[in-house]
Chains A and B, each alone.
Chain A
Amino acid sequence: MTTVPQTAASPQTPDRGIPWGRVLLWLAIAFTVIFSLAPVLWQVLTSFKTNAAITQAPVVYLPGFDQLTLTHYVDLFRLNQFHVYMLNSALVAIVSTVLCLALGSPAAYALARLRIPGEQAILAIVLVVTLFPYILLFLGLLELVRAFGLANNYLALIVPYTAINLPLTILVMRSFFQQLPKDLEDSARVDGYNTVQMLWRIVLPMTLPALVTTGILAFIFAWNEYLFALTFMTRESMKTIPVAAAQLGGTTLFEVPYGPLAAATVVGTLPLVLLVLFFQRRIVQGLTSGSVKG
């Protein structure tokens, strides 16, 4: 065919050459995905490789069957009691998150709805607390823990974690409460709800998305926190995941246990990933839609 017939076959798609815009877009997307996921994938890969495969040069990207193993994971739980550390982390993180929401939300509601004298001053103080470098609190806290005899006590972590997360909770929840339509609360009061019933049965269900969002942030902080956990918890059975993972040692002083470390990272991150995936729908879902005019 030397003469090209009129493009009758596809008149809707005129030939404009390569769509550079789209190519660039997808290149950018691919780069971003690889850039952010590569370290995670690398850790996961390492955690499943045998020690020999980990140290082999050149790097093994696609290990064969004989280079895969679960020993690193099995060892975490058999030799190192990682189930205990996970329980410790879970307990500390859950309790401090719940406390944070239970204390922060009422405070935020009061700041959003009531006319409190000095409200701006209170907010400013709350904000200043978040700006305070947390390393500066550390020595003071150490003295306090000593004075109250809280070393190797879960409270030594629960209390600071709650306190550190409170300002953020209050600020986020306050702005959420402010955008909740006030008519709903008025309507509930006319209907005969008293304050407690109104907060519990009308306001709380609408607040769930915000509670979940701030709760997850608080939980992640508490789960990952290292410095306080390292200092205030010295007994082996009280340690949390980040500390335990960091203290994994090799058989000799000069060996870095890449495999167990990678496995510990995966084990420590997995609960967070599951948590976020599980609650994601809740976060995205706008529960308030349709209550007032739309």
Chain B
Amino acid sequence: MAKLELQNLTKAYSRDIVPVKQLNLVVEDNEFLTLVGPSGCGKSTILRLIAGLDQPTEGRVMIGDRDVSRLPPGDRNIAMVFQSYALYPHMTVRENVASGLKLRHLPVGDIQKRVQEVSGVLGLDPLLDRKPAKLSGGQRQRVALARALVRNPDVFLLDEPLSNLDALLREQVRADLKQIFADQKSPIVYVTHDQTEAMTLSTKVAVLNNGYLQQLGHPHDIYKTPANRFVASFIGSPQMNLITLSRTGNTVALGDFSIPLPIGIQAASVVLGIRPEHLRLPREGDMHTVSGQVFLVENLGMHDLVSLRVQGDPTLTLRALLPADAAWSKENLQLALPPESIHWFDDETEQRLG
């Protein structure tokens, strides 16, 4: 098997439209890398560059030790699953799955065997002789997966493969995907705008914005220590509270409440970030608390998402995720800010502090 390496990859359509800028990435065997970011961040373009469907303006795509930057897509030995599935409408499921192998002139017996294996894994046996028009969305999705798996490629590319499924099916297929690809050795690059998919499926997540790589790391690290303000706001649901505050000495004032800054922070203006799920009702011994008036309660089932205006400065709002069975007062809700859960960012550079 082979690792995938992107060196200095840049794609420019014109001087102003540069969807991918100086990207360096390595995806090893057994790694599942997810490219995540808002629409227009360049993630799909990166996938197309790896596939060879677009040519990079600069930089190289390496698979193993081969430089494939100038090879046509068919010679790169990659498999790609498209968001729209892109099944050939005039071919049966069997022909769809086998088409890539037939083009490589494999012996008929081998092709049959591999199609049989994959269709067994994905439960496609009863569908093999149907045309795509006669399949449901979930079934088409599995055929598209089968077409990729059967190839035994050096790299798997998946372009938002779940976004055309309804919510219930998506959750189920997501779990299936995780199991199926756990058995695959080849590197996998997965594109999504859904952070839940990114968190659950991957061994490594690359957060992208405006064509730049914002942070690369294990999903847990990205959640725990976001590298900058963008990553902090993009990863995590409900969104992290991010409040711009100016410092006075070694503290910042959050309404009537003062919160000490960690030692060593020089920035004049900082952004305080805390996830709604880390704000909690105060316990004995909590150092920093804020209180305020609740103006909105959203019931999420297990939790209530509570929005409050901070006492002393009604323009500041905080959102907290509180257990549904907890008792609290709407007029004056007290919340604790555990210092270990507070993230600090420089207001100017937007980079993480401390």
A residues whose Cβ falls under 8 Å from a Cβ of B: 181, 183-184, 186-194, 197, 202, 205-206, 287-294
Contacts and interface: CB of A to CB of B under 8 A. Distances in A.
A197 B103 contact: yes
B269 interface: no
Contacts of B137: 293-294
A186 B86 contact: yes
Given A188-B88, A287-B89, A291-B132, 15 more contacts: A186-B86, A187-B82, A190-B51, A191-B99, A191-B100, A191-B103, A194-B72, A194-B74, A205-B90, A287-B90, A289-B89, A290-B134, A290-B140, A293-B137, A294-B133
A55 B84 CA distance: 67
B103 A189 contact: no
Nearest to B104: A192
A186 B51 CA distance: 9
A206 B147 CA distance: 20
Contacts of A288: 89
29 contacts: A183-B82, A183-B83, A183-B84, A184-B86, A184-B88, A186-B48, A186-B51, A186-B53, A187-B82, A187-B86, A187-B88, A189-B52, A189-B72, A190-B79, A191-B74, A191-B100, A193-B74, A193-B103, A194-B72, A202-B88, A206-B89, A287-B89, A287-B90, A289-B89, A290-B134, A290-B140, A291-B87, A291-B88, A293-B137
B90 A190 contact: no
A290 B86 contact: no
B53 A189 contact: yes
A21 to B, nearest CB: 37
B74 A189 contact: yes
B164 interface: yes
B74 A290 contact: no
Interface string B83-110: 1111111100000000110011000000
Contacts, number: 86
A293 B73 CA distance: 23
Contact of A291 (B89, B104, B147, B164): B89
Q: Which of A183, A186, A187, A205 counts the most B-chain CB atoms under 10 A from its CB?
A: A187
B131 interface: yes
Interface in B142-167: 147, 151, 164
Nearest to B163: A293
Contacts of B63: none
A294 B86 CA distance: 11
A137 to B, nearest CB: 39
Given A189-B72, A190-B73, A293 B103 contact: no
Contact of A292 (B80, B84, B103): B84
B100 A291 contact: no
A178 to B, nearest CB: 16
A194 B78 CA distance: 15
Contacts of A183: 82-86
Contacts of B73: 186, 189-190, 192
Contacts of B88: 184, 187-188, 202, 291
Contacts of A194: 72, 74
Interface residues of B, number: 34
A181 B85 CA distance: 11
Nearest to B53: A186
Given A183-B86, A290-B135, A293-B137, A192 B103 contact: yes
Contact of B86 (A192, A193, A205, A292): A292
What 4 A-B pairs come out closest when comparing CB atoms? A290-B133, A192-B74, A291-B89, A292-B84
Nearest to A184: B86
Nearest to A195: B72
B78 A190 contact: yes
Contacts of A290: 87, 89, 131-135, 140
B336 to A, nearest CB: 47
Nearest to A293: B164
Contacts of B147: 191
A4 to B, nearest CB: 55
Nearest to A194: B74
Contacts of A191: 74, 99-100, 103, 147, 151
Contacts of A190: 51-53, 73-74, 78-80
A184 B53 CA distance: 12
Interface string B253-281: 00000000000000000000000000000
A187 B88 CA distance: 9
Contacts of A192: 73-75, 100, 103-104
Nearest to A185: B86
A289 B151 CA distance: 26
Interface string B101-130: 001100000000000000000000000000
Contacts of B99: 191
B202 to A, nearest CB: 22
Contacts of B74: 189-194
B129 to A, nearest CB: 15
Contacts of B83: 183
A286 B133 CA distance: 10
Given A190-B73, A194-B72, A291 B86 contact: yes
Contacts of A287: 89-90
A189 to B, nearest CB: 4
Nearest to B153: A190
Contacts of A206: 89-90
Given A189-B72, A190-B74, A190-B79, A293 B134 contact: no
A181 B84 CA distance: 9
